[in-house]
Amino acid sequence: MRVPINLSTEPFRRDRATVVASAICSVLLAGLLGVMVYLILGERARAAENRDSVGRLQTQISVAAVEQAKADATLRMPVNAEVLQQSVLLNALVERKSISWARLFADIEGVLPGNVRLIQVRLPQVNSRNEVTLDMEVGAQQPSQAAEFTKRLQDSPLFGPATLLRSDPPSQNEPLYRYRLTVSYGQKF
C-alpha cells in the first residue's frame, strides 16, 4: 500500500500571474490617485482665486453703493429736487422725440398688406431698457386680412410678437373689422 505524503504545509499553486496583475493594478491605481490629488489641489487653488475675486468685487460694489447713496442724498436735497424733476421730464421728452415718425410709418407700410388700413397709431411707449412698444388700430374687410398683417409683423425683423387687445366687428357706421394691437418695435436710436 502506498501512502502519499506531502511535506509542504500548502500544496503548490500557480499565483505568479495573479500577483503580477495585482501589482500592475496597484501601480495604476496609485498613479490615478496621484492624478486625482493633483486635480483636487489645482481646483482648490482656483477656488481660492475665485473667492479672492468675489471679495474684491464685493468691496467695489459696496464702495459704489456708498457713492450712489451720497449722490442720491445730494439729489434729494430740497434745493436739487426741482432740478432733478425737470431733468427727468426733459429726458423723457427727448426719448419720445427720438422716435422718427416718418421711419415708423415707412416700416409699418413695408409690412402692411394692401387690403388692411392703418386707422390709428398711439404715442409709442419707451421703457427703461429703450424698447419701443407701439399701440395701433387697424381695419380690414375680412378677419383673415388682419391675421395676415399680424403674421407679417411677427415675421419682420423690425417688429416683435403682436398682442391683440381688442377686436370689433363691422357696424352700420364702420364697415371694417377693427383690431387694436400692441407690438414691440425695434427702431434704433
pLDDT of residue 162: 87
Kindly state whether residue 46 falls inside one of the protein's structural domains.
yes
Bridge-based pairing of strands 116-121 and 125-126 is unpaired
Q: Please give the tally of structural domains in the chain.
A: 2
pLDDT of residue 43: 95
pLDDT of residue 35: 97
Q: Are residues 50 and 118 in the same domain?
A: no
Q: Are residues 65 and 126 in the same domain?
A: no
**What is the DSSP code (8-state) at residue 124?**
P
Distance, in Å, from the CA atom of 122 to the CA atom of 131, rounded to the nearest integer, reads: 16
Which residue type is seen at 119?
Answer: I
Of 118, 85, 124, 117, the residue nearest 101 (C-alpha) = 124
Distance, in Å, from the CA atom of 5 to the CA atom of 85, rounded to the nearest integer, reads: 113
DSSP 28-63: HHHHHHHHHHHHHHHHHHHHHHHHHHHHHHHHHHHH
Q: Are residues 69 and 121 in the same domain?
A: no
Per-residue pLDDT of the chain (189 residues; tens, 9 = 90+): 676 666 666 666 678 889 999 999 999 999 999 999 999 999 999 999 999 999 999 999 999 999 999 988 887 788 887 887 888 888 777 766 677 788 888 888 988 888 899 899 887 887 777 778 889 999 999 889 989 999 998 888 888 888 888 988 988 888 889 999 999 887 654
Q: What CATH number is given to the structural domain containing 167?
A: 3.30.1360.100
Look at residues 25, 60, 75 and tell me which one is the last residue of a structural domain: 75
Distance, in Å, from the CA atom of 157 to the CA atom of 185, rounded to the nearest integer, reads: 9
Q: Are residues 66 and 122 in the same domain?
A: no
Cell 417688429 found at: 159
This model's pTM is above 0.85 = no
Three cell numbers, residue 176? 371694417
pLDDT of residue 22: 95
pLDDT of residue 160: 85
Q: Are residues 107 and 169 in the same domain?
A: yes
pLDDT of residue 9: 63
Q: Are residues 42 and 114 in the same domain?
A: no
pLDDT of residue 30: 97
Kindly state whether residue 41 falls inside one of the protein's structural domains.
yes
Q: Is 130 left (phi over 0), alpha (psi -120 to 50) or beta?
A: left
H or E stretch covering 177: strand 177-185
Kindly state whether residue 168 falls inside one of the protein's structural domains.
yes
The range of the structural domain enclosing residue 161 comes to 99-185
